[in-house]
């Protein structure tokens, strides 16, 4: 039996929720679901009996269920998840790695994706037809992905193409979407000669796009787009920001025509917290510190860092670093804390003293994981992610183009 929920619950990221879980690092723990609800958040409703369960009660119940279900269920855990969700994951990684791993888990009937909505959508697109993908909390979206609403991108794409024309046999503009986008945006790229990219292969996606087009429309993260563009050799003067809430994106026809890179006005609320002042403070405290940041940070921060790379890159850099080295990291706190606890021979800390987890990723409380697992045992598939056939077809096309990029 399948319990049907709306495939996505759009809940805006309010300042209240964004700051509700920020702490100074002294007591970073999961509370009961009732306590977290009292913080003012609006997450997916769940049966009341789960609200008061303690973390220990939840942990014991999940352990028993996981043993009982065996290989029929695979739990995927994104690096940004809380520790008491990650401990039950069979596989960990960033969004794309987990989606690829999901596609390879042919022996699992159910894939529980402990991440956010666009990740579960991608897993559904890449998984086998007989597999079901579950997202424990349907309110676990992504604020960056939500900044590129489907209708806004479709309307903008049409406006951009009405203004631009090609001077040769290339397309006037190629759409490139970051993995952190909805299936419908990936489908728009697939249908319009575009491609998906991750933070680790954005440079190769840019090269692919410029072989086919004169410009790139990069959605939805302006900072990853800008940082990649600068590394590729595009000048700041050749980049423009498209604001979907302004007429013609806030740009004149001349600005659009002269551009090489059109950046969608979107960002990651976690990675834009990091600043040059934080880098300077870290260097003052540890003169030999290595500054390691994610490319979703602003270019101001990226240009001052020693190393820049994806979540997997950050993880591998710390893993391979010499004992006794100092690492100040600019990315989501759950990953930073996990690295610090794993590599105790190195000094690993977050650039930002105020610990603010990804508020949407944080919505996957262990109680939600328990809820969907108990549902499976009882014969109910709760929170199944489904993507319609047309969206799936064109999304898969843009994803396959990315998969075919040289490694």
Whether residue 192 contacts residue 175, with contact meaning beta carbons closer than 8 Å, is answered with yes
Give the per-residue pLDDT at 28.
53
Give the per-residue pLDDT at 106.
76
Whether residue 387 contacts residue 315, with contact meaning beta carbons closer than 8 Å, is answered with no
Give the per-residue pLDDT at 356.
58
Residue 265 CB contacts under 8 Å (≥ 6 apart), including other chains: 147, 222, 241, 242, 243, 244
Report d(CA 35, CA 362) in Å as an integer: 14
Report d(CA 179, CA 198) in Å as an integer: 5
Give the per-residue pLDDT at 105.
76
Report d(CA 21, CA 19) in Å as an integer: 6
Q: Per CATH, the architecture of 2-141+359-387 is what?
A: 3-Layer(aba) Sandwich (3.40)
Domains 2-141+359-387 and 271-350 share a fold: yes
Q: What is the mean pLDDT of each run of 10 residues along the chain (407 residues)?
A: 48 46 53 85 91 95 95 91 92 82 82 92 90 94 91 97 89 96 97 95 97 97 98 97 96 97 95 96 98 98 97 95 98 91 96 71 91 96 96 96 89
Residue 120 CB contacts under 8 Å (≥ 6 apart), including other chains: 113, 133, 134, 135, 385
Report d(CA 20, CA 269) in Å as an integer: 14
Give the per-residue pLDDT at 177.
98
> Which residue stretches of 308-363 are H helix?
311-320, 333-342
Give the per-residue pLDDT at 304.
98
Would you give the DSSP letter of residue 363? G
| Fold adopted by 271-350 | Rossmann fold (3.40.50)
Class for the domain spanning 148-266: alpha beta
Sequence spans of domains, the chain: 2-141+359-387, 148-266, 271-350
Give the per-residue pLDDT at 8.
47
233: left (phi over 0), alpha (psi -120 to 50) or beta: left
């Amino acid at each position: 039996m399948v319990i049907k929920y709306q495939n996505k619950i759009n809940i805006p990221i309010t300042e209240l929720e964004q700051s509700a879980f920020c702490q100074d690092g002294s007591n970073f723990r999961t509370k009961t679901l009732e306590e977290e609800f009292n913080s003012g958040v609006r997450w997916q409703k769940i049966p009341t009996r789960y609200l008061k369960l303690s973390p220990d009660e939840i942990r014991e119940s999940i352990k028993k269920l996981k043993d009982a279900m065996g290989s029929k269920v695979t739990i995927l855990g994104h690096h940004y998840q809380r520790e008491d969700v990650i401990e039950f994951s069979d596989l960990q990684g960033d969004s794309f790695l987990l989606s690829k791993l999901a596609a390879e888990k042919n022996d699992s009937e159910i894939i529980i994706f402990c991440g956010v909505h666009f990740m579960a959508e991608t897993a559904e697109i890449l998984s086998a037809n007989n597999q079901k993908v579950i997202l424990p909390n349907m309110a676990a979206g992504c604020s960056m992905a939500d900044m590129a609403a489907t209708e806004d991108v479709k309307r903008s794409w049409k406006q951009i193409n009405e203004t631009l024309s090609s001077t040769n046999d290339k397309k006037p503009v190629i759409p490139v979407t970051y993995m952190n986008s909805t299936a419908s945006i990936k489908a728009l790229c697939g249908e319009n000669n575009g491609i998906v990219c991750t933070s680790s292969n954005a440079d190769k996606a840019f090269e692919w796009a410029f072989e086919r087009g004169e410009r790139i429309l990069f959605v939805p993260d302006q900072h990853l787009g800008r940082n990649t563009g600068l590394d590729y050799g595009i000048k700041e003067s050749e980049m423009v920001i498209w604001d979907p809430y302004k007429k013609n994106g806030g740009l004149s026809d001349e600005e659009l025509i002269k551009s090489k890179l059109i950046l969608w006005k979107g960002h990651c609320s976690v990675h834009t917290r990091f600043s040059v002042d934080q880098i300077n403070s870290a260097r003052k405290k540890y003169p030999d510190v290595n500054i390691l940041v994610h490319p979703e940070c602003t270019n101001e921060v990226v240009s001052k860092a020693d190393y820049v790379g994806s979540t997997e890159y950050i993880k591998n850099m710390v893993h391979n670093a010499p004992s006794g080295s100092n690492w100040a990291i600019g990315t989501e706190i759950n990953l930073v804390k996990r690295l610090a606890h794993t590599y105790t021979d190195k000094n690993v800390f977050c650039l930002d003293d105020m610990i603010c987890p990804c508020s949407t990723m944080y919505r996957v409380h262990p109680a939600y994981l328990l809820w969907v697992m108990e549902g499976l045992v009882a014969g109910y598939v709760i929170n199944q992610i489904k993507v319609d056939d047309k969206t799936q077809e064109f999304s898969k096309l843009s994803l396959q183009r990315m998969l075919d990029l040289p490694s």
